[in-house]
Amino acid sequence: MSENKIPYKIYLEEQEMPKQWYNVRADMKNKPAPLLNPATLQPMTAAELEGVFCRELVEQELDNDHRYIDIPEEIQEYYKMYRPSPLMRAYRLEKHLGTPAKIYYKFEGNNTSGSHKLNSAIAQAYYAKTQGLKGVTTETGAGQWGTALSMACSYFGLDCKVFMVKVSYEQKPFRREVMRTYGANVTPSPSTTTKVGRKILEDHPGTSGSLGCAISEAVEVALGSEGYRYVLGSVLSQVLLHQSIIGVETKAALDKYGIVPDVIIGCAGGGSNLGGLISPFMGEKLRGERDYRFIAVEPASCPSLTRGKYVYDFCDTGMVCPLAKMYTLGSGFIPSPNHAGGLRYHGMSSILSQLYHDGLMEAVSVGQTEVFQAAEEFARTEGILPAPESSHAIRAAMDEALRCKETGEEKTIVFGLTGTGYFDMVAYEKFHDNKMTDYVPTEEDLKPGFAGIPRFPGNPIA
Amino acid sequence: MSENKIPYKIYLEEQEMPKQWYNVRADMKNKPAPLLNPATLQPMTAAELEGVFCRELVEQELDNDHRYIDIPEEIQEYYKMYRPSPLMRAYRLEKHLGTPAKIYYKFEGNNTSGSHKLNSAIAQAYYAKTQGLKGVTTETGAGQWGTALSMACSYFGLDCKVFMVKVSYEQKPFRREVMRTYGANVTPSPSTTTKVGRKILEDHPGTSGSLGCAISEAVEVALGSEGYRYVLGSVLSQVLLHQSIIGVETKAALDKYGIVPDVIIGCAGGGSNLGGLISPFMGEKLRGERDYRFIAVEPASCPSLTRGKYVYDFCDTGMVCPLAKMYTLGSGFIPSPNHAGGLRYHGMSSILSQLYHDGLMEAVSVGQTEVFQAAEEFARTEGILPAPESSHAIRAAMDEALRCKETGEEKTIVFGLTGTGYFDMVAYEKFHDNKMTDYVPTEEDLKPGFAGIPRFPGNPIA
């Protein structure tokens, strides 16, 4: 089909929607390192993991072999409520930038959770339901993941207990209300409902909470409640598997029009959206079928790939979860309080970390002011008000397109627009009022985080 | 195509998108009564209207003759950024209700303004631009219309001055920030920037403002500024014309699958979404080609169609706008302060008023608690968190479907889902906390509003 026939929005038909997730680990020569039991430093067994996670999800977590995994029909049906998501041609942004580059973005924000998180939430809820569980527990910061999980649990009639970081619970009551609309039980963390919560409140009276503490509370409740398991919205390999729906759809839409991207760009916090977007393309690269550039974009104030260490570390600040080998700033690292742009996670998915370590993917970090500038330009030209997280990818895509303007290259750029910013207007307000500042941690600032990385033979902290 | 092949979401292709608006007035035997100059009580001339409104929009306002009006190519291009909107088959809601009815809804919330308002905003901004104007002024309450207009003006490089009711400006800072993201100038109303604003502040120090006052300020600024006009987001016939895109798309999507609706339902505040949704179907009915039932759904606390009078009244509380013949509760009517569900306008579009008066459309009113109950049920089954306004239509559609369950009728119900409720979580919170109350005005409560309707020969207040 000729280039000028490409519509603004490429939609797959429902019958063209993917029926299988793609498991990039099957094509990786160097598999991601296994999760370790922090007590024994041995690889976590399925039996150990099944105490915390749903059975089928544990299988997916440990599966490095099967390239395709069938999406259960009930999940496919749910996906049809809000998927396929559109692949948008950014004609207006291209014109605005005056670039010869062709820019596409996969927009995952057109569902009530406002982001791609729902793709994994529905899968995790489904497996909990088929295992006959009563409910699941989780943590949420700003509330995107909690909202997605609430929607998914409501659909399957599962109980959903969300521990929401107290400061967000109080300052972002709207997300909380969305979760309540879907019937979730939302508790501000730290709370007096758990042992770890009570201990933290005793040690730090008046604390406004942290994601690490919320995870610890959610895990404690899952372990202590008959018929409950804990679920997590990013980082894990199972989550990247579910999010591969983004990449598989993107590839199908591009193939339909014979478009071959040169560069694929995504923001990276824990890595679920980026991992999902790039996976089928990465598969082609790993199999030597085609070459692509992949760029992970992270905040300069939380630069795990670009400035972290590739070692075993705790997945949570509370140190109750298994150890994962990943690029990390240390599980005790906390981004500067002026950081409003999301993507605050201290580490990076083991899969992406391995790919990056093997030179198969690039990474850049960007400052939050330039991110919000890109967000505003994007909103004004393309109409969609992007989430701060997603805007990291916008920034990098615009920079790439502007380089094409200089060189005259007609590159095809694809980026992931993970969500909308409707619940992030406090950050936008800061930006409009020129109250946003940038922060790049010094080497000194990074030291305390690195110091918290567990030391043991075979885990050299360079 | 067989019934079971109907997908969850019917999308038109971009090349199938309507290229013309449909003007229902051309098919009305009884035309809507003309706007009157309040000073002379004579029909407003084009020349008079052009002082306030853009030239081309005045033509559209006065056009009772042309059945189809071409959508300028630039507007079509913009529509492609977020349209066609999906026509959804509510399989899950049907199953949840256990009804034999087939339910469809046209979802207009998948754009950053969060509602259908953008369909008219982009048209009005376009005509202002092509007339060579510098900018436009408007008022906004909760901010849906202001957001849509900001987006449209940003796209065309027009200045946009929004007077936002002060209480909303203060209590709903997020909508304000969205408007600022699109470069709009947002002023809390009443303000000291206008004569009428200063007078109101003098008479009522500490007032939190009203829509009527905001309109008066916006009109004053438009009249007093070189190169500015005033624009309005509902009620006017030009707005219903632009919103006909909703109905024309809906009809095209239904036709594609050979579906013929029995009942078409929409919420009604000023009437723009309902008027737009039903217009091409109403055209068939008016031309005697096919029969449909149409149901306008309004809040019991602001019941203009079901309990108002069909007379000439002011369109605004400030009494600066022309008189329109419509079902009205009186321009001084203000819904009870406990009313959280939107649709607060005292009158109803002249077109819809005439159609209702002629028995071509039905109207029902519903209480806000039952509306939020429907909203929550809908969110949990269909996934989308609806705006309170839209949820009036959901309530009526569910009631209709439940009647079908009793009678066993397999009716096809289509309703308009005008927008999302992401900025309405305060109202949802009230509902969750059982702090929502219902209010049905007594005859006595309606008296002050009716008393304010202008008395003159030919305007009998029954």
Closest CA to A351 of A7, A1, A34, A10: A34
Give B152's pLDDT tier (boundaries 50, 70, 90). Answer: very high
Tell whether A183 is within 8 A of chain B (Cβ): yes
Query: Cβ–Cβ of B380/A7 closer than 8 Å?
Result: no
By C-alpha distance, the chain A residue nearest B181 is A376
- Tens of pLDDT, residues B408-443: 999 999 999 999 999 999 899 999 999 999 999 999
Query: Cβ–Cβ of B180/A111 closer than 8 Å?
Result: no
What percent of chain B has a predicted confidence (pLDDT) above 90?
85
- Of the partner residues B8, B155, B429, the one whose CB lies closest to the CB of residue A173: B429
Q: Using only C-alpha atoms, what is the Rg of chain A?
A: 21
Contact B61, B231 (CB under 8 A): no
- Closest CA–CA distance from residue A257 to any residue of chain B (Å): 15
Query: Cβ–Cβ of A111/B11 closer than 8 Å?
Result: no
Contacts of A80 in chain B (CB under 8 A): 7-9
Give B117's pLDDT tier (boundaries 50, 70, 90). Answer: very high
Query: Cβ–Cβ of B422/A423 closer than 8 Å?
Result: yes
Question: Which helix (H) or strand (E) segment is A13 a member of?
Answer: none
pLDDT per residue rounded down to tens, chain A (462 residues): 444 589 999 999 989 999 999 999 999 999 999 999 999 999 999 999 999 999 999 999 999 999 999 999 999 999 999 999 999 999 999 999 999 999 999 999 999 999 999 999 999 999 999 999 999 999 998 889 999 999 999 999 999 999 998 988 887 889 999 999 999 999 999 999 999 899 989 988 888 888 778 988 999 999 999 999 999 999 999 999 999 999 999 999 999 999 999 999 999 999 999 999 999 999 999 999 999 999 999 999 999 999 999 999 998 777 778 999 999 999 888 778 777 777 888 999 999 999 999 999 999 999 999 999 999 999 999 999 999 999 999 999 999 999 999 999 999 999 999 999 999 998 999 999 999 999 999 999 999 999 999 999 989 886
Query: Cβ–Cβ of B180/A432 closer than 8 Å?
Result: yes
pTM: 0.95
Q: What angle do CA B408, B409, B414 make, to 5 degrees?
A: 130
Interface A-B: count of C-beta contacts within 8 A = 107
Tell whether B376 is within 8 A of chain A (Cβ): yes
Q: What is the DSSP annotation of B261-298?
A: -SEEEEE-SSSHHHHHHHHHHHHHHHTTS---EEEEEE
Who contacts B309 (Cβ-Cβ below 8 Å, separation ≥6)? B327, B328, B450, B453, B461, B462
By C-alpha distance, the chain A residue nearest B86 is A82
Specify the pLDDT at position A194. 95
Who contacts A359 (Cβ-Cβ below 8 Å, separation ≥6)? none
The rounded distance, in Å, linking the Cα atoms of B345 and B460 is 22
The rounded distance, in Å, linking the Cα atoms of B42 and A193 is 71
By C-alpha distance, the chain A residue nearest B109 is A110
By C-alpha distance, the chain B residue nearest A12 is B11
DSSP state of B422: T
Specify the pLDDT at position A2. 43
Tell whether B385 is within 8 A of chain A (Cβ): yes
Asked if the model's pLDDT at residue B462 lies above 80, the reply is no
Specify the pLDDT at position A462. 66
Quick one: how far is CA B95 from the chain centroid? 30
Tell whether A168 is within 8 A of chain B (Cβ): no
Tell whether B430 is within 8 A of chain A (Cβ): no
Closest CA to A221 of A287, A298, A292, A162: A162
Query: Cβ–Cβ of A428/B177 closer than 8 Å?
Result: yes
Who contacts A295 (Cβ-Cβ below 8 Å, separation ≥6)? A263, A264, A265, A266, A361, A362, A363, A364, A396, A400
Give B316's pLDDT tier (boundaries 50, 70, 90). Answer: confident
Tell whether A382 is within 8 A of chain B (Cβ): yes
Tell whether A423 is within 8 A of chain B (Cβ): yes
3-state DSSP call for residue A115?
strand
Tell whether B151 is within 8 A of chain A (Cβ): yes
- Of the partner residues B7, B110, B426, the one whose CB lies closest to the CB of residue A14: B7
Specify the pLDDT at position A441. 94
**Across chain B, what does the average pLDDT equal?**
94
Asked if the model's pLDDT at residue B141 lies above 90, the reply is no
Rounded to the nearest 5°, which phi and psi values hold at A87?
A: -100, 115
Question: Which helix (H) or strand (E) segment is B70 a member of?
Answer: strand B68-70
Specify the pLDDT at position A4. 57
- Closest CA–CA distance from residue A263 to any residue of chain B (Å): 23
Query: Cβ–Cβ of A383/B155 closer than 8 Å?
Result: yes
Tell whether A46 is within 8 A of chain B (Cβ): no
Question: Token pair 């009186």 is at which residue?
Answer: B330
Query: Cβ–Cβ of B429/A385 closer than 8 Å?
Result: no
Q: Using only C-alpha atoms, what is the Rg of chain B?
A: 21
Class of residue B74 by CB neighbours under 10 A (exposed 0-12, middle 13-18, buried 19+): middle
What percent of chain B has a predicted confidence (pLDDT) above 70?
99
Tell whether B256 is within 8 A of chain A (Cβ): no
Who contacts B211 (Cβ-Cβ below 8 Å, separation ≥6)? B139, B141, B165, B316, B317, B344
Top residue of A177, A257, A371, A434 to mutate, by most chain B CBs within 10 Å, is A177
Write down the ipTM of this complex: 0.93
- Tens of pLDDT, residues B71-100: 999 999 999 999 999 999 999 999 999 999
Top residue of A94, A425, A435, A436 to mutate, by most chain B CBs within 10 Å, is A425
